[in-house]
Amino acid sequence: MKRRHLLAAAATALFVLRATARAEAPAAGSAGGTFISAVAADVAGGTAENLLEHRTLVLRVSKEFIRRHTPAIVDQRTPISRCLFGARVTGVATTNGHPVMKPHGDRQGSALELHFQGTIDTRTVATKGPARVSNAGRFQFDVRREISFDGLDFRKGERTIDVSMASRITGVSGPPGLCGPLVRAVASRRAASHQPAADAIARREMTEAVLAAFSERTDKLVADLNANLPWKETVSLLTRRVPGRRQQFSNKPKWIEARSLHVDFGDGEMPEAAASLRAPIELWVKGEPRASITERLLGLWEAPREAFARLRPAAPAAESGDDTSAEDAARGITPEMIGDWWVIRIGNDVADTILRPQTSPAAAAP
């Protein structure tokens, strides 16, 4: 009897539980589907986390754009006026030089080596008493500095320089009359004896001057690259630092390239549209960022876009009614999707000027 009562109570409890479950079950499409939505959100969140860990970023900067920060020197004339070995030396030094970019030999292309090669030609006259000694000299230099990329910032290395110096006496003059030959002979001997020491002084001073000028230019170049290329902030926004994530820097024929990638997902194969550079600066992101992140990215890259203002051609005459350059400059940055890649290009309006410059001796240098 007792056993029958227990079975009846258990059956009643099971019926009540089933009825309660049916009463609380949500209808299709009702708010009761929050559990399923939460699961879906978790899955999407996991995908976002994976994308942050595995996403590939590529930054490409035109070498010609960098060249604009280290312009060639053409026939720069500097007056010479000094005292040397008791003589007054006057004349002019003419400097010609151009930048050349090469892969760094010891780093297998992971760093850029910026060279500045050229000559300084001197024409001087040393005057002491009635004697005048003319001299012609040529100072050749190849100064270079490594510019590396540590994954987030551009950095400058030590400066090195190779120089050679040669000069020759081109003429000796003296007073007219009987004493003229004697004055010229004495001046010639003294000039010849002082020439090695004078060349050494000129070599040292010109080496110091070239190194100082090159240091100033390359310091500014690296500072501008870091200030105008918000790569560090972009990597922080779009990736997560995890084991296996690494940074690359490579020196391509027409541009330098920085990558942030995960070793397990290769180098991020680029589409055919990436075979050539279409703007001075390009940012390629594998996978379209969320809308909120996109707005922040475009804000970051607006600053380097404005840095191109000095490179934009002058606006056309007002009477022509054609203000295309101003309109292009005002449009801002427009991202586009190329396959799986989200791409922004900076400096589109000056691409013709920078990527296809007119041939010049400096641009044509190897």
Structure confidence by residue, pLDDT tens digits, 32-74: 333 233 333 333 344 455 666 788 999 998 887 777 777 788 8
Quick one: pLDDT at residue 204? 95
Top mean-pLDDT range of 1-10, 155-164, 218-227, 244-253: 155-164
Which region among 108-117, 132-141, 345-354 has the lowest average model confidence (pLDDT)? 345-354
| Portion of the chain with pLDDT greater than 90, in percent | 33
Give 29's pLDDT tier (boundaries 50, 70, 90): very low
Q: Which of 11, 259, 268, 314 is nearest to 149 (CA)?
A: 259
Quick one: pLDDT at residue 211? 95
Q: 10 Å Cβ neighbour count for 255?
A: 21
| pLDDT tens per residue, range 146-202 | 888 776 788 889 999 999 999 999 999 999 888 889 999 999 999 999 999 999 999
Higher pLDDT, 65 or 331: 65
Quick one: pLDDT at residue 245? 84
Mean pLDDT, rounded, of the chain: 76
Q: Do residues 133 and 114 make contact, with C-beta atoms less than 8 angstroms apart?
A: no
Quick one: pLDDT at residue 214? 93
Give 320's pLDDT tier (boundaries 50, 70, 90): very low
Quick one: pLDDT at residue 266? 66
> Does 260 have pLDDT greater than 60?
yes
Q: DSSP states of 191-254 as a string? A: HHHHHHHHHHHHHHHHHHHHHHHHHHHHHHHHHHHHHH--HHHHHHHH----TTEEEEEEE-SS
Using N-to-C axis directions, what is the helix angle for 291-300 and 231-238, rounded to 10°?
170
